[in-house]
Amino acid sequence: MNRKIVIGNWKMNKDIRQSVECAEELLQSKYGLDTVNSTDIVLTPSFLALNEVKKVCAQRSGIYLGAQDVFYEPSGSYCGAISAAMLSEVCSYAFAGHSERRMYFGDTDEMVYRKVRACTDAGIVPIFCIGETGRAYSAGRTKAYLRYQIEHGLKDVRPCDMVVLYEPVWALGTGRTPRTDEVEEVMCFVKETLAGLYGPDRSAGQAAVRAVYAGSVCPENAAAYAALPHVDGVAVGTASLCAQKLAAIIHAVDRVD
């Protein structure tokens, strides 16, 4: 069985000082993270805060750093870009194709594929993000949409440690969340599609490919999502900005058998 995983995505929040303070608070004994045994914890602060947060997290095993994005070229005249090779000095994980990168920065499926490849080449675990739009959801095309994203984003990526993150884009900012049975149906489909690419042993429990749900995850619903048979963990946005809430989510996931 895969180890569970909780990813705290701080997005464009917290300066360096605030990021360090949040990480330090999270590690306080009152939150009991030293009792978490079967769940990996990934924090993704801003690029600027990565190195300082890493120093804090070095105090405890099982907490990893991730980057919120990565560029697919190894080096060159790409002003403002950060390569996977550069990130590998600090990070163990990196997002590729987050819905907000696709929405606001124009990341295409081809670009996401190249980012995944760059991560695997640099020894970083890619957090490969997928999710259907409102139009696809309303038209009943969720599975076709996700299949296309998976097959194009991973088209010749060799079997490797990977997180596949599903976030229903149609629910973002609407106050709507999918029912747990809807999430389970989608996550089962995701793992079946991955099995078609990599074989069942590489995608459904004996391998390093973990399927994670994201979308309005909070302390009240984290356990329900993590307990679904085809869900290996959760990614947390707004709630992860509060150490107390993030710790509660981590414990809720860790208690799931």
Domain count, the chain: 1
Spell out the per-residue pLDDT of the chain, length 257, in tens: 679 999 999 999 999 999 999 999 999 999 999 999 999 999 999 999 999 999 999 988 889 999 999 999 999 999 999 999 999 999 999 999 999 999 999 999 999 999 999 999 999 999 999 999 999 999 999 999 999 999 999 998 887 899 999 999 988 766 678 899 999 999 999 999 998 888 765 554 444 789 999 999 999 999 999 999 999 999 999 999 999 999 999 999 999 97
Sign of the C-alpha dihedral, residues 187, 190, 196, 197? negative
Cβ atoms of residues 234 and 7 within 8 Å: yes
The pLDDT of residue 175 = 67
Q: Pick the catalytic residue from 100, 132, 167, 184.
A: 167
Q: How far is C-alpha 232 from the geometric centre of its chain's CA atoms?
A: 11
Is 251 labeled as catalytic in the residue annotation?
no
Q: DSSP alpha helices (H): ranges in 47-141?
A: 50-57, 84-87, 99-105, 109-122, 134-138
Which structural domain, as residue segments, surrounds residue 165? 4-254
Catalytic entry in 98, 100, 132, 184: 98
d(CA 208, CA 161): 5
Amino acid 60: pLDDT: 85
CATH number, residue 182:
3.20.20.70
* 98 tagged catalytic: yes
Query: 39-44 and 4-9: which strand pairing?
Result: parallel
The CA distance from 164 to 129, in Å, is 6
